[in-house]
Structure 1
Amino acid sequence: MTVGFSVENRVARVTLDRPDRMNAVDAATEKELEAIWTEIESRDDISCVVLTGSGQKAFCTGADLKGGATKSGLEYWAESRTNGFGGLAFRKSLDVPVIARVNGYALGGGFEMVLGCDIVIAADTAKFGLPEARVGRMPLDGGMVLLQRKIPHNLAMSVMLTGRQFTAAEMQGFGIVNETVPFDELDAAVDRWVSDIVACAPLSLKAIKQTVNRTGHLSPAEAQGLRTPALIRALQSEDAVEGVTAFREKRAPVWQGR
């Protein structure tokens, strides 16, 4: 598999691409994705990330079970993957909003990557699931620990204990998908969300996501008292002044990212 990566107008686009269009991730792709997330974290010219799969068939179908892997399930589980599947599933250091553009199958690790995104826009033909139990495995790279924290217990268990595939409409009902549209409207829907995000101050976006990522385990009082680095930077920024000034002058703000 190859990973496409481009940045334009403050939007990074990350595309999983495999000739058979099922977009299964191998070890080399995991390393490539980790490098991409690390680069995005180091840059100040990115306000939003769109993650998708090429074509119409699949967003990502998880680990490559046909790739001749020699590791046992126990060996795979014992390996350190701090950030979860694709380097994204439970990554806490990426302070840029990530949109999942789900164009087809999002299964196993692919669904775990979706769970690591902030906003999920799906084609009405998309399918989601954690089928690991059907092949004698478990969703080790984020599925078991993330899904139960995002949706009610019985819904999470219905996904993991059956291994069945769920439609985009069902996942929207569960609260995982933000918007479901016909495939030919998918790009337009994603662009609407991107436009709304990049209209916001980039430092505010980072401050919001960093605070959410670092305070989810705290009580409200503890979270309110935490002064995250991105929060302090945003509060002291020129953009904080520019935003209020633009509002008073009834014009669009011009963000400098400082």
Structure 2
Amino acid sequence: MTTTETATDLVLTERRDGVLTITINRPGQKNAVNRETALQLAAALDQLDEDPALSVGVLTGAGGTFSAGMDLKAFAKGETPILPGRGFGGITQAVVRKPLIAAVEGWALGGGFEMALACDVIVAAGTAKFGLTEVKRGLIAGEGGVIRLPQRLPYHIAMRVLLTGEPITAAEANRHGLISQLTVDGGALAGAQELARHITVNAPLALAKIKQVLREVQGLNDAEAFKVQTETAHSLLSTEDAHEGAVAFAEKRAPVWRGR
């Protein structure tokens, strides 16, 4: 078991047994995201994807709040937390190869909610709340909210959230399948990290390929989607990890993945 932690002011990263925990560290600002925070989040995601020793990322916020979204004071001074090619917080439009889990306590508002929607799994405390309040400011949730929320919630529920700007509770979000796991208050991070450990036992190349297929088949008909999936699945057959998986099964032992 190895644990290392580095602090870069606005974002903390902790490595533990193949899991990179990324914490937005602006509790005094409810973890609102300014440009420097976005840059540091983008760097953390690059670390996740580039380090072969890491399999899964967990994104959370310090101080009992996931994120209040954009830092409006910084925005008023001319800053933007939207990075070219990567979106809000360096996350919402980024292509992250490895699985990413959001661990949500308290509020996930605006861009904060959109960052959670950009993750593959959401683990949330029972009292967490999610909201897209942009419509109250004459804007739309343009960093994934309008696009992704109707894909994750029933259409009429998603439209209620988008059109009213009123929050949805974790309990209601869970009923409709937006949340993968509900925890007690204060337990979202531990729950997300435990889930991450269940993921890290699996082959890292296969995990990345699952995400790749899901990205590439969006909007395709079944025939086109199966063609994409078949090509991707076949590419795994010749990998060392696929061979190791079969040998480990035959030898009745845990596989040792190499990521190649």
Q: TM-score, length-normalised on structure 1?
A: 0.88
CA distance in 1, matches of 2:259, 2:27: 39
Q: Superposition RMSD on alpha carbons, in Å?
A: 2.4
Q: Select the residue among 11, 15, 30 that pairs with 1:3.
A: 11
* Post-superposition CA distance 1:201-258 (Å, at most 9, x none): 1111111111111222222221221269975553221111111222223222121222
Tell me, which stretches of 5 or more residues in structure 1 are unaligned? none
CA distance in 2, matches of 1:68, 1:106: 19
SS in 2 for 1:251: coil
Question: Could you tell me which residue of structure 2 aligns to residue 28 of structure 1?
Answer: 36
CA distance in 2, matches of 1:26, 1:64: 5
SS in 1 for 2:30: coil
Q: CA deviation at 1:17?
A: 0.8
Amino acid at match of 2:223: A
Q: CA deviation at 1:48?
A: 0.2
Question: Could you tell me which residue of structure 2 aligns to residue 82 of structure 1?
Answer: 85
CA contact (8 A) 1:121 1:189 kept: yes
Q: TM-score, length-normalised on structure 2?
A: 0.88
Q: CA deviation at 1:146?
A: 1.6
CA contact (8 A) 2:11 2:22 kept: yes
CA distance in 2, matches of 1:55, 1:80: 25
Identical aligned residues as a percent:
39
Mark the CA change 1:148 to 1:227 in structure 2 (over 3 Å): closer, same or farther: closer
CA distance in 2, matches of 1:228, 1:55: 45
Question: Could you tell me which residue of structure 2 aligns to residue 193 of structure 1?
Answer: 195
1:1-258 paired onto structure 2 within 5 Å: 2-20=10-28, 22-56=30-64, 58-67=65-74, 69-70=76-77, 81-91=84-94, 93-226=95-228, 231=233, 234-258=236-260
CA distance in 2, matches of 1:51, 1:161: 27
Q: Which ranges of 4 or more aligned residues in structure 1 deviate by more than 4 Å?
A: 227-233
SS in 2 for 1:55: helix
CA distance in 1, matches of 2:190, 2:22: 17
CA contact (8 A) 1:2 1:18 kept: yes
* Post-superposition CA distance 1:28-51 (Å, at most 9, x none): 211222222233332322110000
SS in 2 for 1:257: coil
SS in 1 for 2:187: helix
CA contact (8 A) 1:85 1:142 kept: no
Mark the CA change 1:159 to 1:17 in structure 2 (over 3 Å): closer, same or farther: same
Amino acid at match of 1:32: Q
CA distance in 2, matches of 1:38, 1:228: 28
Moved more, 111-120 or 186-195: 186-195
SS in 2 for 1:121: strand
CA distance in 1, matches of 2:170, 2:215: 26
